[in-house]
Structure 1
Amino acid sequence: MRKFSMFACAALVAAGAGALAVGSAQASDSEGGCGNAPKSQWMGEDAAKAKGVELGYEVRRVKVEKGCYELYAKDKDGKRAELLMNPVTGKIVGTDGDD
């Protein structure tokens, strides 16, 4: 009986840790992948614009939106695009090209 109790406790602890991992993954997804780093760690807007150009976009405007840089740009075909960029890493974490 004692072995079963220890096994049951270990299983509950493992299940709880898994639930915490899932919860933290959902939290980062809801942030759009931009995190919550202080602005002192962000790249400058000019660097964000340069990163967009490096990716093949003609960047018209950069603004801050919900903790991300939002780049208003045109793609190589001249179509409007909105890119959400992580302000620390420069990684594109979302796009909205439906305009």
Structure 2
Amino acid sequence: MPQPSLSGHRKHLNENESAMKILLGTAAIALGLAATTLPALADDDRHCGRVDRAQWLSLPDVAARVAAMGYDARKIEADDGCWEVKARASDGARVELHLHPVTAEIVKRDVDDDDDRYDD
């Protein structure tokens, strides 16, 4: 009596193994990308936390506090859980401030030398 051929079965296993390797490789790449991009997206949340919008300082209050700190605010907007302020420092330097939405504490300050989006 002839023995059943296993060559078709082995071929099916090899195709499944190849598909599994591709799937695992794709999953590894996706996890790697998520691990590198998610911290960047959550950067301001780390500084400002997640605060209910109803608790945020009003725009006029933020403008007054920025002026009291010695900055001339050119643009103020909510961005990623913080107040983001583009301003001029007392020495004329262009700065970008990230302020805590409730306390207006500066959580991040960048000097912006080559951006004239908020010049007069």
| TM-score for the superposition, normalised by structure 2 | 0.55
Runs of 4+ in 1 over 4 A off after TM superposition: none
> Is the Cα contact below 8 Å between 1:32 and 1:93 reproduced in 2?
no
Correspondence for 1:74:
88
Give the structure 1 partner of residue 55 of structure 2.
41
Instruction: Show the counterpart of 1:65.
Output: 79
Give aligned pairs, total.
72
User: Does the 8 Å contact 2:59/2:76 carry over to 1?
Assistant: yes
The structure with higher relative contact order (CA 8 Å, sep 6+) is 1
1:71 corresponds to which letter in structure 2?
V
Give, in whole Å, the separation in 1 of the partners of 2:44 and 2:79. Answer: 14
State the structure with more CA Rg. Answer: 2
Q: Taking every aligned residue pair, what percent have the same amino acid on both sides?
A: 36
- Whether the 8 Å contact between 2:95 and 2:109 is mirrored in structure 1 is yes
Unaligned runs of 5+ in 1: 1-27
For structure 2, the 5+ residue unaligned runs are 1-41, 114-120
Aligned-pair RMSD on alpha carbons? 1.8
